[in-house]
Structure 1
């Protein structure tokens, strides 16, 4: 296999998994570790990835799908597992907040088909439309400035509305984590500041995160691991990342 062909295959793995490891790639392509390191350096110079200790992660030049309309059909199986586990933690008569998140859309569907009597506040239109079909659920929309790319509300007016509530539990979306300082990240300040308001007004805070997002981060840091009680994910992260969460007393929930 020519180097260019190997580079293309490495890119495919990266876009699917969000990360690669030198040892695994050397086994896949039957080449030395040094050969793979050179491949990764070439791809990093081309802006395709960012090298890490023992491997590489997806570069921001190859971002994960960002708009809700794109993400709804992405990793559905993983998101369903996350939603099912989160559903088990919602109790009768609780007041909960469902943040802008395609995984929370699936959680909303589970709630809409349940007999749980709860109050749900959300800033995402998809979630409100699903939940309003169940008469046992009191559904409240935050209002505020509408953002079409996420089909939801963010910003100052939304933050002001959130401040009038006290939530038993909040379930937040994320674009990834920054392992350098143990923070959760999102695309921009408006979403990040809205998430901070949700956290500040909730007793128990949970982040919904697919495994691939443990290896990707975005531009705005909205919470430190210490600010969160737990994460719901489709499978346990690798040991080094798991230890970061455990050091901050963050519970990891997965099926």
Structure 2
């Protein structure tokens, strides 16, 4: 079992049980206690759990989600620049997906003020509420689970809906992006839905501000070669640049 798979399983157990011990995880995962401690320490640095004496416990949901209203204000100017560039890749008559990220919410603001006729599929409650005011837009919200403190719909209840629409482009952000893991997020349930979005759309455009570059989270929903374009707000590190060049994925910096 790879490290990401182990940490996925650890997070799943913590979400179910609220607390876990090193010994319990060692027996369940069939790895040494030292390996488990390394995993727990790494996951604590990623703010996915709280380390306790002899184990770990779940962070409060509002801490994990960092509350949408708070996240929406962080790096807003960078997200707005990224969104302005992303808007140029939307054509009249298209069907697009917007995930529940705050960056896609900034993109939705441009869409709301436009005269383009579009079909918008979204997992974002705030995004759907705002876009429905524009009569040129057909807004489809993906069904699923809504957690306290979150703007996102999660899970695969809306999986069948995605099969019924022909999506031109998915616009998505992530908790983190690095060369080896690609686009990652901390919510396993949201990751499941994002994987389906990537599989459904003809093109995936990633909108990633500088605070997420070079970092990693618990689960991958898209590798770099699953992405068709990256829009960010600063130049990439040499490692990330090499990975995107190798995958022949264009990178655009929003100035």
Structure-1 separation of matches of 2:65 and 2:245: 29
Higher mean alpha-carbon deviation, 169-178 vs 140-149, is at: 140-149
What corresponds to 1:216 in structure 2? Answer: 215
What corresponds to 1:109 in structure 2? Answer: 109
What corresponds to 1:9 in structure 2? Answer: none
Determine helix, strand or coil for the equivalent of 1:92: coil
Structure-1 separation of matches of 2:178 and 2:64: 15
Determine helix, strand or coil for the equivalent of 1:126: helix
Q: TM-score, normalised by structure 2?
A: 0.73
Determine helix, strand or coil for the equivalent of 1:222: strand
What corresponds to 2:78 in structure 1? Answer: 78
Structure-2 separation of matches of 1:232 and 1:150: 25
Equivalent runs, 1:15-164 vs 2, <5 Å: 59-61=45-47, 66-164=66-164
Higher mean alpha-carbon deviation, 160-169 vs 195-204, is at: 160-169
What corresponds to 2:59 in structure 1? Answer: none
RMSD across aligned positions (CA):
2.2
Determine helix, strand or coil for the equivalent of 2:158: helix
Q: How many residues align?
A: 199
Determine helix, strand or coil for the equivalent of 1:236: coil
Question: Is the contact between residue 81 and residue 254 of structure 1 (CA under 8 Å) also seen in structure 2?
Answer: no
Q: TM-score, normalised by structure 1?
A: 0.73
Determine helix, strand or coil for the equivalent of 1:80: helix
How much does 1:64 deviate? 9.4
Q: Highest Rg: 1 or 2?
A: 1
How much does 1:240 deviate? 2.5
How much does 1:61 deviate? 4.6
Determine helix, strand or coil for the equivalent of 1:237: coil
Structure 1 residues 64 and 177: alpha-carbon distance in aligned structure 2, compared to 1, 3 A threshold: farther
Structure 1 residues 198 and 61: alpha-carbon distance in aligned structure 2, compared to 1, 3 A threshold: closer
Structure-1 separation of matches of 2:158 and 2:252: 29
What corresponds to 2:228 in structure 1? Answer: 229
Question: Is the contact between residue 65 and residue 149 of structure 2 (CA under 8 Å) also seen in structure 1?
Answer: no
Structure 1 residue runs without a partner (length 5+): 1-48, 51-57
Question: Is the contact between residue 145 and residue 158 of structure 1 (CA under 8 Å) also seen in structure 2?
Answer: no
How much does 1:72 deviate? 0.7
